[in-house]
């Protein structure tokens, strides 16, 4: 027994100061500290991302672009028709055209009056008749916005809270996963709700991905490390594909016969057959593939957050190629239309890494205003728009010179950003931040007045 403690024992007393000293000595020989700050940032980032997905922060995504329709936010908004219904049209001082703003004085006629929320999102598109846009808010209401008339259709009220949604590849059906454990198929044309597809646990599903054929919906069951396969025609979950840890994004080979699941908490991609729904193999990639995207040239790329690399996967052989360095904590990737170049948002490096895919070589990183969390490329491939988190801004990058243009501050004071989308005609980039949307003209790189959503969150916006 140590002398001091013996003394304590002998006296049978211990005052507060002695206890202080004892506690201090008790931690004197501690083991080395693990990477807990790093781990905390990583886990916290993931939680925040998931919250965004679930709509706590609010998120917007254009999920489908259908041939034949040319969605034009700027053009559609510039039409300036008379406001007729639940939305008023305000002229925009920036010349971007009027924005659609929810008019709080108009009461919705939808069923769930207690949860009334104006359409959370608008993403007008145009066609001969003036195309409609679907906006799903987190309360499970689906609204339509006709871009030619700027009128909203009668909202389609659904019960339950939206977990996530997706549009089929043909653009005809929107699938909305609600927390009452069912997927509601909704016609993007008539907005009629079809018969629900029951699922075991909606909140475990992080993402829905429709197969290229449109016959199957893949449900990424993040906590249970599997992908559920829902048969659209039979309206049932038919099987589960076991994956690596925490499946999230899914990409497909150009032929559509092979699916690639990014196992975000592992260092692997689970390859499965979209015909048999069986696992074909597991490919080793970098640690934490947080994104997986098929390039226009048909190669599948994973973005490996922890390794700071991207890994190409040959879709014909399902073999991984040599990883390419892509900055610190890369998050997202876009490709030029030719498939020759990739741009990777490297969050921790506060830069975008251009990568020459032919040589597999990263070019000199392009500094962004702050931490890039997402990016989009215009359809022409001329400009990459990078959404910077913390504080929120958008940095345009000229892909001809690979240089950043002056970044656009969006919503001064806002820090946490949601998503960024570009209209298929490339005229406008839209950013979601909290409960607001900020349109940015790609011609002038000027932000228009924000579209304030009265719903706390928009789940998704879709161009059917």
Partner 1 sequence: MTAADDFVEFATAAAPRLRRTAYLMCGNWHTAEDLAQTTLTKMFVSWRRVRRNDAVFAYASRTLVNTYIATTRARRSSEVITDVLPEQAAVSDSLETRMLVTQALGTLAPRSRAVVVLRYFGDMSVEEVAASLGCSTGTVKSQCARALEKMRSTLSGNQEDGRQADGHQGQRRHG
C-alpha torsion angle, residues 289, 290, 296, 300 (rounded to 10): 20
Between 246 and 277, CB nearer to partner 1: 246
Between 171 and 418, CB nearer to partner 1: 418
**Phi and psi (nearest 5°) for 139?**
-85, 0
Q: Is 29 a binder of partner 1 (CB under 8 A)?
A: yes
Tell me which residue has tokens 């305000």. 90
Q: Is 40 a binder of partner 1 (CB under 8 A)?
A: yes
What would the x/- binding string for partner 1 be over residues 296 to 335, using CB under 8 A?
Answer: ----------------------------------------
Rg (CA), the chain: 25
Q: Residue 255 to residues 133, 274, 424: CA-CA distances in angstroms?
A: 29, 10, 24
Chosen residue from 24, 67, 68, 93 binding partner 1 by CB under 8 A: 24
Q: How many CB atoms lie within 10 A of CB 212?
A: 16
Burial of 38 (0-12, 13-18, 19+ CB in 10 A): exposed
Q: Is 41 a binder of partner 1 (CB under 8 A)?
A: yes
Q: Is 7 a binder of partner 1 (CB under 8 A)?
A: no
Stretch that binds partner 1, among 33-41, 240-248, 281-289, 357-365 (CB under 8 A): 33-41
Asked whether 138 and 458 are in contact (CB, 8 A), the reply is yes
Q: Is 16 a binder of partner 1 (CB under 8 A)?
A: yes
Between 45 and 446, CB nearer to partner 1: 45
Between 236 and 415, CB nearer to partner 1: 415
Window 370 to 429, contacts with partner 1 (CB under 8 A)? 370-371, 390-391, 415-416
Q: How many CB atoms lie within 10 A of CB 248?
A: 24
Q: Shortest Cβ distance from residue 42 to partner 1 (Å)?
A: 9
Q: Is 44 a binder of partner 1 (CB under 8 A)?
A: yes
Task: Point out which residues pair with 389 in neighbouring strands.
Answer: 371
- Compute the distance between CA of residue 310 and CA of residue 327 in angstroms, rounded to an integer: 10
Q: Residue 217: enclosing H or E segment and its boundaries?
A: strand 216-221
Between 9 and 361, CB nearer to partner 1: 9
Q: Shortest Cβ distance from residue 250 to partner 1 (Å)?
A: 26
Tell me which residue has tokens 């349109």. 439
- Compute the distance between CA of residue 387 and CA of residue 393 in angstroms, rounded to an integer: 6
| Contact set with partner 1 (CB under 8 A) | 1-5, 8-9, 11-14, 16, 19-20, 22-31, 33-34, 36-37, 39-41, 43-45, 47-48, 51, 370-371, 390-391, 415-416
């Amino acid at each position: 027994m140590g002398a001091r403690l013996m003394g304590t024992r002998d006296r049978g007393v211990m005052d507060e100061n002695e206890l202080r000293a004892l506690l201090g000595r008790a931690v004197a020989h501690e083991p080395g500290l693990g990477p807990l700050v790093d781990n905390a940032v990583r886990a916290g980032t993931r939680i925040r991302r998931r919250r965004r997905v679930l709509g706590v922060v609010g998120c917007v995504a254009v999920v489908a672009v259908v041939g034949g329709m040319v969605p034009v936010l700027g053009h559609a908004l510039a039409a300036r028709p008379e406001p007729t219904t639940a939305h008023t049209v305000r002229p925009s001082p920036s010349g971007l055209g009027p924005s659609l703003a929810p008019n709080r004085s108009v009461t919705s006629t939808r069923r769930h009056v207690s949860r009334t929320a104006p359409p959370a999102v608008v993403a007008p598109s145009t066609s001969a008749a003036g195309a409609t846009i679907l906006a799903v808010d987190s309360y499970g209401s689906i609204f339509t916005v006709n871009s030619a008339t700027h009128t909203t259709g009668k909202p389609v009220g659904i019960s339950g809270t939206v977990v996530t949604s997706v549009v089929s590849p043909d653009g005809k059906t929107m699938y909305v996963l609600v927390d009452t454990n069912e997927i509601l198929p909704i016609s993007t044309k008539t907005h009629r709700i079809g018969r629900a597809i029951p699922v075991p646990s909606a909140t475990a599903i992080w993402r829905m991905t429709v197969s290229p054929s449109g016959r199957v919906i893949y449900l990424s069951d993040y906590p249970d490390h599997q992908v559920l396969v829902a048969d659209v025609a039979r309206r049932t979950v038919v099987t589960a594909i076991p994956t690596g840890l925490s499946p999230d994004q899914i990409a497909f080979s150009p032929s559509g016969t092979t699916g690639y699941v990014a196992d975000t908490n592992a260092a692997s991609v689970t390859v499965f057959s979209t015909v048999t729904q069986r696992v074909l193999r597991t490919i080793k990639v970098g640690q934490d593939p947080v994104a997986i995207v098929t390039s226009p040239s048909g190669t599948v790329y994973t973005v490996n957050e922890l390794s700071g690399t991207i890994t190409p996967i040959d879709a014909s052989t399902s073999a991984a190629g040599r990883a390419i360095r892509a900055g610190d904590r890369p998050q997202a990737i876009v490709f030029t239309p030719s498939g020759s170049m990739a741009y990777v948002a490297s969050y921790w490096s506060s830069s975008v890494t251009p990568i020459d895919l032919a040589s597999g070589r990263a070019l000199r990183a392009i500094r962004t205003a702050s931490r890039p969390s997402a990016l989009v490329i215009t359809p022409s491939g001329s400009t990459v728009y990078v959404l910077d988190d913390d504080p929120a801004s958008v940095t345009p990058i000229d892909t001809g010179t690979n240089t950043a243009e002056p970044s656009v501050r969006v919503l001064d004071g806002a820090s946490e950003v949601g998503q960024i989308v570009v209209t298929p005609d490339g005229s406008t980039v839209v950013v979601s931040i909290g409960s607001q949307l900020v349109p940015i003209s790609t011609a002038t790189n000027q932000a228009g007045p924000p579209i304030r959503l009265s719903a706390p969150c928009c789940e998704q916006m879709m161009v059917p």
